[in-house]
Structure 1
């Protein structure tokens, strides 16, 4: 019986090492190629393995297109909130009430390997005034 439990444990451990998690987010960048400020996190998904960068990027782009309607910050989310307002609310919760017009970028993180830019950006600029998204900057 102990042998069976040990065998199942190592089998699960091996499976866990072979699969990974891909996370996607909309972010701001400051003087760097790495995202530095999270604006909107998308639901993570399972990746085939921790070296499958192409699939992670492609799935993040699909999620980005679905959440932003192709980069539109005026897109209305499932909860009825405008995406740009959701992002300004996130910034306000972090203590940033105002944001000059800025580009929003898509980033991914595969197996906790650090956030990387996908080189996809919003079609419009994001700005916040007192934590409120005015719709146009």
Structure 2
């Protein structure tokens, strides 16, 4: 009986190690913190290798692009709010009430590895004031530059 249990547990451990999965999410950088502001549905992959990583990246870019109308923070969701408002509301629940001139970036994760940048960025800068999505009125990218 002990041999059977040992064999079954070995099979369970081996199958858990080879299970392939792909996560997709949007992140905002806030001072010294990366904050996940949206997680898309998982993308189906069949392995945890370099080919699957490319499939994961492509699937995440497609998933996040469709959800945000290609990174448009002013895109109105089915709930009648903008993508930016969704993010600002989420940040306010995490006690981040103010965010000024930040981009939202798309990332993917393969089989529990490190998050990888998916070459996807929001069209506009994100500004949240008291948890409310607002138009950014200044552009910090030109400060101090000749």
Which range, TM-score by smaller chain?
0.7 to 0.9
Return the alpha-carbon distance in structure 2 between the equivalents of residues 24 and 74 of structure 1: 21
Deviation per residue, 1:7-60 (Å, 9 max, x gap): 88877765544431111111123689xx81111111123321122110010000
2:109 aligned with 1:117: no
Partner of 1:44: 42
Gaps of 5+ in 1: none
CA contact (8 A) 2:28 2:104 kept: yes
Question: TM-score by structure 2 length?
Answer: 0.76
Equivalences, count: 134
Partner of 2:140: none
Question: TM-score by structure 1 length?
Answer: 0.81
CA contact (8 A) 2:23 2:41 kept: yes
* DSSP 3-state at the match of 1:84: helix
Gaps of 5+ in 2: 137-146
CA contact (8 A) 1:19 1:47 kept: no
Return the alpha-carbon distance in structure 1 between the equivalents of residues 79 and 6 of structure 2: 45
Partner of 2:67: 67
Aligned CA-pair RMSD: 2.6
Partner of 2:142: none
Question: Max radius of gyration: which structure?
Answer: 2
